[in-house]
Structure 1
Amino acid sequence: MPRFRHKTAGSRSLSLLTAGAFAVLAFHAAGSGASAQERAPDPEALQSIEKELGTAKERQVMLEAQAEELRAEVAKLRAQLIKAAARVQAREEDVTLSEDRLTGLVGAEAVLRAQLSARRKDLAETLAALQRLDRNPPPALAVKPDDALGAMRSAMVLGTLVPQLEAEAREIRARLDELRRVRQDILAERETLSDASGALAAEQQELERLLSAKLTAQAELDERLETEREEVARLSQEARTLSELIEKLEARAAHRLPEARPVRPSARLQAPASKPLSPAEAGPEAPADEDRQLASLPSGRPLISGQNRLFSKARGQIRLPAHGEITKIFGENDGAGGRNRGLSLKTRPDAQITAPFDGKIVFAGPFRRYGQLLILSVGEGYHLLFAGLERIDTQVGQQVLAGEPLGQMAGSEAKNAALKGNVKPTLYIEFRKDGEPIDPKPWFALSERKARG
């Protein structure tokens, strides 16, 4: 948990009161010229000042205790948020898998119905043949010699037709049984999907409650961040390109004192929106200027303490910020004569986005045509960029832990588009080392379902 200074009205009053008390002491001790040697300090005044100082110290202890309680409360809420976000993402995957199974079952039902429909003509002819045999059965062999030949012919026809009819009847029964099972599976899967959707909604509500509680507690502890947010907002207005923005943020950070990374509350707490635009789509960036900017980009102060792992050592070990499918990868042709600088992750509507690694939020908000952009500094000159979120749940200057919620993807409109078969919400992910884009994929622990390329 980062150690924040708690600048409240009470603490400012305490500083003024303490300064005033020492000023009075200095005044009484100094006196005025020769009279300072003739007169001793007023005992009553000294006693009053000592009493004020004692009261001030008591208030200081009380304020420090309150600040410590707030820090503990925020740490507890962050631990709960990490767990809640993990549960939400697990429910999202359950819902997605259930939706996929339901789609497959509905497709299987359509295929079976089409097959049965195509066999209707054959079935009608088979039934007609059976009805004719029922109305005109073959004659008995012992009636007339002429009838014997007819009976033999009828027996030959029946010997060929009956096995065929029986085979067709068995196939039709099997198809009907399969169709019946598929329809039962559809009903069961719809119930499963309903339960999973309800559980997801409940987990999302709990996550919203925890986020609100954390913001309330953090607001009491985070007054010092306001100046930093204003400064970052000013930089974002001045920056013309994304590389220039990172350069300004790093230059600003290089002149600040180092701050400790957040300490995990407990080892057991480790976590097991607008369409994003690729750099080619996000607006013109002069390549020559950008190369010069990237070359002069400082490495930045490390955010990872010695007791915590380094981002450079975490290859293949971190999780994607959301459940989804990678649709575009680093280095692919972007369709505009350039190459992708990151990867695109197609998510479900309302998908929860979490921090893939411990770090500090250095930018959060709209930036040029990237839409809602989030930049996470993870030390060693590495920055993780996320674009396409509809909502951002963090603020500039905040330290976040791996698995902690960062924001959410687009919701109701995206759901309607997904139902119509249109493109799902897409999160754009870009990793940069000393300002230079690098391939993010080697850092993620990917399953075959999520990986591509």
Structure 2
Amino acid sequence: MRSRPRSAEILGAMMAVERIEGPVMLVHPQGPLATARSGMMIADVAAGMQAEAARIGALARELAALRSLRETAVETLADGLSSLQDARAELSQAIADRRDLPPRVGDDETRMLALLNSVRTLQELATSLAERPSGASSDLPVFASARGRLELPVIGAILRRFGEADTAGINRPGLVMATEPGALVTAPWYGTVRYRGPLLDYGTVVLLEPGEGWLIVIAGLDAVYPRTGDVVAQGDALGMMPGGSVAGDEFVQAAPVAGRSETLYLELRQGGQAIDPADWFDLSGQRP
């Protein structure tokens, strides 16, 4: 009589073991009842692990979709940036071809190259150009009327003003500005492009003559649109700052891009002598 409850217990355990799949059918050292209990525990754990595996699989598929979407977005943005740069160049050329201004009047190229080879400083070059103006100033708006209200040629922040020394102790008679990479540079006033290209240690420059005896020096550009001798209007595109080609990762990593900047240098000269641009340009909103 006493053996019947024990037999029933063993029989129930064996029936439970038969319902358990896989390795849990292994016999537990403590007997069939312990085997059944451990099998049920493992079955519960397996169900939870299976659910977690399904969740992880869904996340992995979502991550793969996001990666694919990111790659597509980067390619689209890169194509858009390239198209924007091409459009800027085409727009500046269209403006140059259609504006109602005097025709191109340039220096003889051979004479200009000889002049560049003979000068050692920007002041020497500015003085030489002031002594032989382009002759187009009489057909342009009077430069003196723009005193105090000229727009800066690029959007940016002034790092150093007229005569302020840099970290190396070198001072220049102009403004140094920090700009965004690839920023568009425009003409502050109507004028004749006396020279465009590399100059001494200033990098790529544009020398703009807004009036007889005057010279606006804009240095640090990458691409320059007008040619030497072209007449430009106020606000016309002169070129672009370096850094306009953006890598794919920079579209999705905002912090490194935010820290990047380029440097533009701006001078104003009269009769070859540098004068403080702050008297002519609208510097409202800039630091003292």
1:383 aligns with 2:215: yes
Specify whether residues 232 and 314 from structure 1 end up closer, same or farther in structure 2 by C-alpha distance, changes over 3 A only.
same
CA offsets 1:198-257 (integer angstroms, 9 cap, x no match):
987765443222345567899xx98975x623321221122121111122223343xx7x
Given that residues 105 and 231 in structure 2 are in contact (C-alpha distance below 8 angstroms), is that contact kept between their aligned partners in structure 1?
Answer: no
Distance 2:93 2:204 in 1: 20
CA offsets 1:311-365 (integer angstroms, 9 cap, x no match):
2231221211111111111122334555431011111111010000001111111
Specify whether residues 222 and 198 from structure 1 end up closer, same or farther in structure 2 by C-alpha distance, changes over 3 A only.
same
The corresponding residue for 1:410 is 242
Which one-letter code corresponds to 1:240 in the other structure?
A: R
1:251 aligns with 2:131: yes
Q: 1:425 aligns with which of 232, 243, 262?
A: 262
- Which one is further off, 402-411 or 436-445? 436-445
Distance 1:234 1:318 in 2: 32
- Which structure has more relative contact order (CA 8 Å, sep 6+)? It is 2
**1:227-246 equivalence runs, <5 A:** 228-246=108-126
The corresponding residue for 1:366 is 198
Given that residues 232 and 249 in structure 1 are in contact (C-alpha distance below 8 angstroms), is that contact kept between their aligned partners in structure 2?
Answer: no
Could you tell me how far 1:395 is from its partner in structure 2?
A: 1.2
Distance 1:223 1:309 in 2: 17
Distance 1:361 1:338 in 2: 28
Given that residues 192 and 230 in structure 2 are in contact (C-alpha distance below 8 angstroms), is that contact kept between their aligned partners in structure 1?
Answer: yes
Structure 1, unmatched stretches of 5+, are: 1-194, 260-302
CA offsets 1:55-101 (integer angstroms, 9 cap, x no match):
xxxxxxxxxxxxxxxxxxxxxxxxxxxxxxxxxxxxxxxxxxxxxxx
Given that residues 353 and 406 in structure 1 are in contact (C-alpha distance below 8 angstroms), is that contact kept between their aligned partners in structure 2?
Answer: yes
Which one-letter code corresponds to 2:235 in the other structure?
A: G
The corresponding residue for 1:332 is 164
Given that residues 229 and 397 in structure 1 are in contact (C-alpha distance below 8 angstroms), is that contact kept between their aligned partners in structure 2?
Answer: no
- Which one is further off, 426-435 or 414-423? 414-423
Which one-letter code corresponds to 1:245 in the other structure?
A: L
Specify whether residues 414 and 324 from structure 1 end up closer, same or farther in structure 2 by C-alpha distance, changes over 3 A only.
farther
Distance 1:229 1:332 in 2: 35
Distance 1:418 1:424 in 2: 13
Match of 2:201, SS state, is helix
CA offsets 1:110-153 (integer angstroms, 9 cap, x no match):
xxxxxxxxxxxxxxxxxxxxxxxxxxxxxxxxxxxxxxxxxxxx
**1:208-223 equivalence runs, <5 A:** 208-213=89-94
Could you tell me how far 1:393 is from its partner in structure 2?
A: 0.9
Distance 2:115 2:202 in 1: 16
TM-score w.r.t. length of structure 1: 0.40
More strand, by proportion: 2
Specify whether residues 408 and 344 from structure 1 end up closer, same or farther in structure 2 by C-alpha distance, changes over 3 A only.
same
The corresponding residue for 2:3 is none
Given that residues 344 and 426 in structure 1 are in contact (C-alpha distance below 8 angstroms), is that contact kept between their aligned partners in structure 2?
Answer: yes
The corresponding residue for 1:452 is 287
Given that residues 377 and 384 in structure 1 are in contact (C-alpha distance below 8 angstroms), is that contact kept between their aligned partners in structure 2?
Answer: yes
TM-score w.r.t. length of structure 2: 0.60
The corresponding residue for 2:152 is 320
More helix, by proportion: 1
CA RMSD in angstroms, aligned pairs only: 3.6
Match of 1:376, SS state, is strand
Distance 2:273 2:246 in 1: 32
Which one-letter code corresponds to 1:243 in the other structure?
A: Q
**1:297-316 equivalence runs, <5 A:** 303-305=137-139, 309-316=141-148
Match of 1:388, SS state, is strand
Distance 1:315 1:400 in 2: 19
The corresponding residue for 1:438 is 275
- Which one is further off, 419-428 or 397-406? 419-428
Could you tell me how far 1:394 is from its partner in structure 2?
A: 1.4
Identity %: 33
Given that residues 192 and 232 in structure 2 are in contact (C-alpha distance below 8 angstroms), is that contact kept between their aligned partners in structure 1?
Answer: yes
- State the number of aligned residues: 206
Distance 2:78 2:235 in 1: 22
**1:14-413 equivalence runs, <5 A:** 204-213=85-94, 225=106, 228-253=108-133, 258-259=135-136, 303-305=137-139, 309-337=141-169, 339-412=171-244
The corresponding residue for 2:38 is none
Distance 2:86 2:170 in 1: 42
Structure 2, unmatched stretches of 5+, are: 1-75
Distance 2:225 2:192 in 1: 14
The corresponding residue for 2:33 is none
Given that residues 220 and 241 in structure 2 are in contact (C-alpha distance below 8 angstroms), is that contact kept between their aligned partners in structure 1?
Answer: yes
Deviant stretches of 4+, over 3 Å: 195-205, 211-218, 221-225, 334-340, 412-418, 420-423
Distance 1:338 1:347 in 2: 21
